[in-house]
Structure 1
C-alpha cells in the first residue's frame, strides 16, 4: 500500500472536509485516514505540507491542436503587432518553397490591430493562415487564396463567410470558409500526431491535469491516424492521461462502423457539431443584432431542419450530442432540436453556453443535459464583449451560478489552445470574473465560490465524463490526484491562477513532480 500523508488533503465530497492520509493499492484508493497510520511494508509518500485534491479534469480541449500550438507559432502572449509580423517573417523565411505557414492565437482585441491580406502579402509569398484566438476565424494571404483557386467573386457558403472591404476580399475567413484553408494546410501522419499528443500530455501533467475531453477526430484528414495515435500514445506505462473523445459529425458514422475499442484511457463520448461561431468574429448567433454591428445577428452553421437532422443522426446510434453554442439563438435552436428528439439514455452536452436568457435556462433545467463551460473565456472577452452585446444581454452571460442553482451539471474546460489549459486559471476566472491584468470584475452575482469552482474540474467534471469512479478522494475511486504548492481556499483568491503544481498522480503513478 502507498500512503499519501503530511499535507492538506481535500476529499471534495463536502466543503472543507480533509483527511490526514490516503491509502492506495494499485490504481485505487482503498482507505482514508483521520490520522496517519503506521502500516508495516507500506510506502509512505510525504506531501511535504502541500495541498492534495482529486485529479483535475478539463471537459473541453483540442489535444492535437494544443500540442501543435505548443510547438509552433503562437501569438497568444504578444502585445505588439510589430512582434507578430516579425514572428511571421522569421518563420516564413525558414520554410521550404511551397509550404504552408500556420499560426495560432491571433487576438485583434488584445493587439488593437486587425491584420489584412495585404499586410501578410508584404511579408512573404508562402501560403499563410493565421488563426484568430477563437479558432472560428482566420486571416489568409493571396497565396493561400490562389492555392485554393478562390477568386474575388467567391460566394459565401452555408455556415461560412468571406469578409470583404470596399468590395474586395480582405483575407478574413469565418467558420466553414476558414475550414477550407485549415484542411488544405494539414499534412499530419500518425507519427507527427503522436508527437503533438505527447508534447501536450507532458504540459498538461505539469498543470495537474489527469483527464481531458478532447475533440480531434474530424480535423486531420484521416481520423484513423488520429485514433491510432491515441492508442499508441495513451495508456498504462505510456502517457497516463484519460481521454473522453467527442466525435465530430463529419466522421461519426464511419467511426461507428469501425472496430476501435475503448477503455478507461480512451472513452467514447458524444457526437460533436457546431450551431454557431464565436463572439470575436461576430459569428456567435443571437436573437437580436450585435450592439456594435446592427447589420448582423451572427452566423447559423445549420438551418433548424439541418440541425435536427444532426441530432437524429446521433440518435440512430443511441448517442448523445455535444453542440457548440455561444449565442442565445444558437442555444434556442439546439434546445428545440433535443426536445423534439430526446436521447434514449445519457445527457446531451451544451458547449460554452456563454450568453443565455431566463427562458432558455428554465428549459435546460427540464432536460437531460450537462453544460461544458469555459471560465477563462470571460478573462479574454471582457471588457470588449460589452460593446458586442450591450449591457442588457450581460444578465445571463457566463451564468455559472444560475446554472448550478437550477440543478444543471456544469464542468470546467479551457478549449485549449484557445485559452490556457491550466485548471487554476479557470478556477480563478470562475471565482473572480475579471481579466488577470485588471481590477474590474464583471457580473459578480454569477461568481462561484472557490469550492464550487474547484468542483468544476473535479467532481462535476467527472460527472460530465460519466466516470463514476473519479472526481473525489474516496475509497474505491481511481487514484488520480493533483497536489498544489498552495491552498486555493486560504490564499488571496486573486492569486489562485499563480499557484504551481507540485505533483500529478494518475492511476496510482506519479507522472509529474517537483518534490521528488
Structure 2
C-alpha cells in the first residue's frame, strides 16, 4: 500500500491543497498532511517522496477517436503537409516503401487545405498522380470531407448519374465527380472498407497507450465505432484487453449507433450507458448533426461569408428527434456533434422534447463542440442541463479561419468557454483526437491564453473568453467525470476516489500563463500504479 509524502497536491476537493496521501486497493484511502497520513499508515514500507512536486487528479479527455488515432499512426502521414504536391510525393513513396499490392486500398486522414500553397481542395486527378492501381481515400483532418481517386470512384460506382445521399454531397464539375465527398457521402467510400478485426483493434490500441499516458490521461472517452465498423469486434477487443489486464487507462466507449439497425444490435447485446467495469464502461450514443468549420459543412443559421451556403444539417428535425428518443429508450445517454448555431439549435430542440417525455431527471445530454452559440442558445444549455463538451485546441488551429468563414460579428460568439463556465453550464474538455493533439497541457494553455503554441494572435483570440487556469483543469477532470456520471468516484484526490493522479514538473497553477505549455507530465498513475 503506497504512501506519497511531501507533495503540492492540488486535490480539486474544495480547493484544498494537501501534502500526502495513501492508496489502498486502487483508491485514495487517506489524504492530508504528512503527519496525518504517516501516523495512520506508519507500518507501510512503500513511502514515496514527491519532493514538493505538484500533483493533480488524472486528466480525462471527454471525447476523442482513440482507435482512429492508433490506426493512423501506421498509415501515410498527411498531417501538417503544406501542399497537394507534397501529399502526392509522400503517398507515392509510402506505397513504394511498403510495397503495397495493386488493388489494395490506401486510406488515411489528416490533410488540411488551409495549409496548402495551392489554396484549394485536392481532387481525384491529384490522387491519380499517386496511383491509378490503388483505390485511395484521404479524409480531411476534420473527418467531414474526403477525396478519392478515379480508381476508388470506379469501384464505388460513383459517376455523373450518382445522386447526393441524404445529408451528404458528391462534388461535381461539369456533371462529373471531382472525387470530393462531403458528410454522409463519405459513407459511400468508408462503408466499402472491411471492418477491423479484433486482433487489428487490439494491436492498434496497444501501440498508442503510452502516447496517452505521457500526456497525463488516465481516462479516455472515445468514439471508435465509426472507424472500426463492427460493434461486436470493437466490444470484444476492448473487453479482451480488460480481462487480460492490458488496459492501462480507463475507457468510456461512445457508440455511433446512428441507425435503427445498430440500435437494435446494441439492444440484442444488452448494452446501455454505465454498463461495465472500473476500467471499461459503455458511455453514450454519439450522433452527428453537422460537419466542420474548416470544411464549411458546419450548419449555420446564416450563409458563410466565403461560400454561398449554410453548411450541412445531417438529419431533419423529426429524424433526429426519432433517433434521440430511440437511443434514450434503449438506455443510453446522448451526446451529439454540433458545431454551427443551426446544428446546436436543432440538437437542443431534440433534447427539450426528450426532457418533456422522459421520467429520468438526470439525462446529462451533451453537445460535442458547440463552437457557435449565442446568449439564447447558452441559456437553453443551462435550462436543459446540457453539457458542453468543447475542445480548447480548436481555438489554437481554427482562429485564422473563423472570421474569414463567418465574419467578425459571429466570430465573437465562437468558443465561448469562459462564458459557459461563468453561467454554470456543465463543461467537459476534450481533444477530438486525431483531429487535434490530445496533449492536455497544451489544451489548458489554449483555454487560458486563446493563442496557439507560437503565441499568436498576440492579443489572444477574443481574450475575454480566456479562462482561469484552475477552471480549465476542472474541465479536464471534474467536468469530464460529470459527463460520464463518475463525479463521485473520479476527478478529485479525495478519500474513496480512484487513485488516478499525475505528477507535474512545475506548479501549473502558479507559472506565468504564457509558460503553461512548458509544464511537463513526469509520471502518470492509474489506481495507484505507475503507468508512465
TM-score by length of 1: 0.95
Matched, 1:347 2:352: no
CA contact (8 A) 2:5 2:34 kept: no
| Residues 203-282 of structure 1 mapped to structure 2, 5 A cutoff | 203-234=211-242, 237-250=245-258, 251-259=262-270, 262-282=276-296
Q: 1:100 aligns with which of 102, 105, 109?
A: 105
User: Which has the larger displacement, 107-116 or 425-434?
Assistant: 107-116
CA distance in 2, matches of 1:122, 1:449: 49
Corresponding position of 1:403: 420
Gaps of 5+ in 2: none
CA contact (8 A) 1:115 1:139 kept: yes
Matched, 1:122 2:133: no
Matched, 1:417 2:434: yes
The structural deviation recorded for 1:385 is 1.5
- CA offsets, 1:193-247, max 9 Å, x none? 1111112222111111000111112442321111000112236832221111212
- CA offsets, 1:245-276, max 9 Å, x none? 21222323311221466122222222111111
| Residues 41-190 of structure 1 mapped to structure 2, 5 A cutoff | 41-93=44-96, 94-113=99-118, 114-125=121-132, 126-190=134-198
Matched, 1:510 2:530: yes
CA contact (8 A) 1:431 1:453 kept: yes
User: Which has the larger displacement, 433-442 or 58-67?
Assistant: 433-442
SS in 2 for 1:269: strand
User: Which has the larger displacement, 87-96 or 275-284?
Assistant: 87-96
Corresponding position of 2:345: 332
CA distance in 1, matches of 2:115, 2:51: 40
CA contact (8 A) 2:385 2:425 kept: no
CA distance in 1, matches of 2:321, 2:363: 18
Gaps of 5+ in 1: none
User: Which has the larger displacement, 435-444 or 399-408?
Assistant: 435-444
CA distance in 2, matches of 1:230, 1:41: 35
SS in 2 for 1:445: helix
CA RMSD in angstroms, aligned pairs only? 1.7
The structural deviation recorded for 1:62 is 0.9
Corresponding position of 2:462: 443
Q: 2:376 aligns with which of 355, 359, 362?
A: 359
The structural deviation recorded for 1:310 is 0.9
CA distance in 1, matches of 2:51, 2:176: 63
CA distance in 1, matches of 2:17, 2:78: 41
| Residues 412-491 of structure 1 mapped to structure 2, 5 A cutoff | 412-440=429-457, 441-467=460-486, 468-491=488-511
CA distance in 2, matches of 1:460, 1:259: 28
CA distance in 2, matches of 1:70, 1:20: 40
Corresponding position of 2:321: 308
CA contact (8 A) 2:445 2:513 kept: yes
